[in-house]
Structure formats: C-alpha cells, structure tokens
Amino acid sequence: MKVKGRKVAIVGMGGTFPNCTDIADFNHKLFDNQSLIREWDQALAYGKNLRSSVSGFITEAEAGLEMVPSAIYEKLPEIYIDKLNRVPDKNLATADVGSIWAMINTLDAIKMAGWSKEETESEQTAVIMASGGPGSSILRAGWDLFFQLGAKSRHGGPHIVDRTMSYREVANVSCLIKNKGISESIISACATGLGNIGHAYRLISYGIQDRAITGGVEATSIEAFAGFDGMMILSRGFSPEESSRPFDKDRNGFVCSFGSGIVALEEYEMAKARGAKILAVIDGYFNNSDGDGDMFYPSFEGQKRLWKGLLSETGIRPDVVKVHGTSTPSGDSIELFGVVSTLGESGYHISAPKSQYGHMLGAAGAVELISSILMLENQKVLPCLNAVNLNPELERFQSNPEWTGTMKPMEAYRDLIPQKSFSKEINHITCLNYGFGGTNSSISISKDY
C-alpha cells in the first residue's frame, strides 16, 4: 500500500514522434491543430494486399539514425548508426530502432530532470518500460535468412535475440544509464505505455524506489501494421489527416502509428528539495480487467469500475479527460458513455490525441501522457480532430435490456468534444487507456501548486 506522505512528481520527459523533429515541434503542431498522419510508402508498396495505407510512422532518417545492413542479407541490420552521436556504439549494437528511441528519450528525460550520475545509477532508480510486441522487422529478416534462404544460424549475427526480446527496451536503457534499481517490463497490449508508468508510480509511492525512468515504445513496423490490417480494424477511405476520427459517426477504424514516450518520475519531496521543475504530480493510478471473457469488445461495466477505483483513490474530478479514443465503432461510444455516466454531462472536456497522431499501440499511453502534461503546461485542451458529426441515433447496444448507461445519443455530448484546441484553466487531467483482453488503465495528474 502507499506510504503516507509519498507523492510522485513527473520531472522529465522525452519522446520520438511522427513527423516531428523534437518535443518542442510536437508541442507546436499539437496545439496548432495539425495532424501528424501521412500516407505511408511502405504500405502503398503492397498495393491492394493492404486495405489501409496511412500511418503516423517515423523513418530511421527522421530519427537521426542509419541502418548498416548485414553483408549477408540486406534486410538485416549489422548495426545502427546514431548520426547525432547521442548513444554510444556499444549500446547501439544490441538495440532495435525502438530501443534506440527509448535510450535517446531517456537521456532527454534525465537531462530535463536534472539527475546526477549518482542519482541515475542509484539502487533507488528503476527502469520500467515496454512495447506492445516483439521486434518484428528484425525477427522477420532473421527468419527469412535462416528458413527461406537456408543460411546458417550464426549468419544472422549475435544480436537477434537481444534486439527482439520482450524486455529489450529496459535491457538497453538499463545498460546505458547503469541504474541499480528495479528493471522490468509490464506488457498489456495497448495499455502498455500507461501500465508501465502506473507500475513505476506505485514503486515510488509504496516506498520501494525513489526515482524511475518509465514509458512505452512502438517501433515502426510494417509487420505490425499488416497484422492489424488483416483484422480489418484500420481506418480507410479518408485523406491521411482525416483518417483518425474518434467519436465521428463515419469512423471505421484506427490509424496504426508508432513512437516513443519516456518520463522521469521522482518522489515529490526529494524533487522539491533539490529544486527540480515539477511538470506534473501523479495523484493516483488504477487498473483492472473487464472480466467478461471477451478479447476485443469494450466493457461498459469494466470501464465504470475503472473510474470507481481511480476516484476512490484520488477523489479528484478532472477538468479534462484524455480518452483512449481509437476511432473504432464500438470502442468510442462505450468509452464516451462511460465517462458521462461517471462525471455527468458538463464541467469538463474530452481530448482525443489519437485524432492527431493515430494509435501508437504499446507507446500510446506514454505519448498521450506527455500530451496531457503539455496540456497542463499550455493551459489548453487538445482537440478531437475530425469529430465532425456525432451519431444522432441511439447505438444498437443501448436497446439491450441489460444496458445500464445513458439513453441519449452520442450527439447529445457534442459540447464535451472540441474539434480545435482552446484555452482553459486546467488543474487536473485523467488519462485512460485500454487493451485487448479487457485490460484497462487510468491515471490522474495535476499541476503542482
């Protein structure tokens, strides 16, 4: 349980974002109501074999990286070069692209936090992060080399395992910064990013650690994109900037995107004592499972229990709710009605950052938390782009005799969902993320007073 008096502060952050040079550029484009989603040449190369072709993707060149291919197989990296000299070569040798992003973002977060070498390498500093899946692009190249081309296993080089294992981001970051505290990954589908941050928060609030580098990552992967495209749940038929459209009645799927978000957490009084800038305070974290046995369909009751658990811990009513908001037909309506059933019909606004950069899978919760921190800093609500028309009719599930939620259509809540960024006094934000298998995560953050 929480140790009395142990608060947790967010003191640093870093990220790798689609179509952005750095976090300042990300900040500018978000509050300028821009979309970071583009037509993806890798998807277009497969023609009609893929239904969708838009993504918030990041190329190696855009991240300041260069892949040096194996002399035996050009699709398999021999090494990555950091053209901006941020990460030492020995650390690049064991990393896939996502792990390199995580290392770069970690260095940025630590610099912003102002941690000393001793604090960073302490037994009281944890590394808690993960991605939603394996290093698919490297796995595929390695398997092709062995299974299809008949090469010897050693021809794939010595680093396929460490570049693709589930724990790879933590392993690489921990080896880079040499922390001596807890290092682990929490993998929970599209709730991964927020789940890792929530776990790190608990380690500090329970008195187990004093600091943590934490977040979520999802490296650009046509393999992951193709998997979701095969499920027929990706957006199609719109221009790139109009493809992600949470809550709009014409939404037909999410935009598969990629990125990384890393934050530095610290016990509040320690951060204050050394004069750190407090970006935000974490008021509480709660997670649960739907428990209804459905792998994919969202649970209204599960989300209501999520809200109940978070509010029982914090007692804080948010000024903004940062929703999961994927643009899936059932997901958005269930989520909206869950928010309304908990908070009522006024007094707050809903922000859906996926409308601007798509769904970053394992990185989603972490990048969206950074977006929420930026809302606190800017005192502006980020928009829900493309939520042009909300359904004026009841959803099918609202006619179910077992339905216990609102009997109003989504259109009734138009005023909660802004289509453009606007200024507002923001003291508290609640962030929500969900994942396959019924996993749900929520966190509450506030301005420091």
| Residues designated as active site | 190, 324, 359
Token pair of 201 as six digits: 């928060």
Residues 6+ apart with CB under 8 A from 306: 286, 287, 288, 432, 440, 441, 442
Token pair of 325 as six digits: 């908001």
CB contact burial 373-400 (16+ within 10 A = b; e otherwise): bbbbeeebbbbbbbbeebbeeebeeeee
Residues 6+ apart with CB under 8 A from 42: 57, 222, 225
Residue 143 per-residue DSSP state:
H
As a whole number of angstroms, the distance between CA 95 and CA 176 comes to 11
As a whole number of angstroms, the distance between CA 184 and CA 439 comes to 19
| CA-CA-CA-CA dihedral for 209, 101, 25, 111, to nearest 10 | 40
Token pair of 3 as six digits: 């140790």
Check: CB of residue 44 under 8 Å from CB of residue 113: no
Dihedral sign of CA atoms 332, 334, 340, 343 in order: negative
Check: CB of residue 177 under 8 Å from CB of residue 120: yes
As a whole number of angstroms, the distance between CA 233 and CA 52 comes to 9
**What is the 3-class SS of 405-427, one letter each residue?**
CCCCCHHHHHHHCCCCCEECCCC
Q: Which of 83, 188, 90, 180 is nearest to 133 (CA)?
A: 188
As a whole number of angstroms, the distance between CA 211 and CA 270 comes to 9
Cα-based angle 307, 316, 424 (whole degrees, multiple of 5): 105
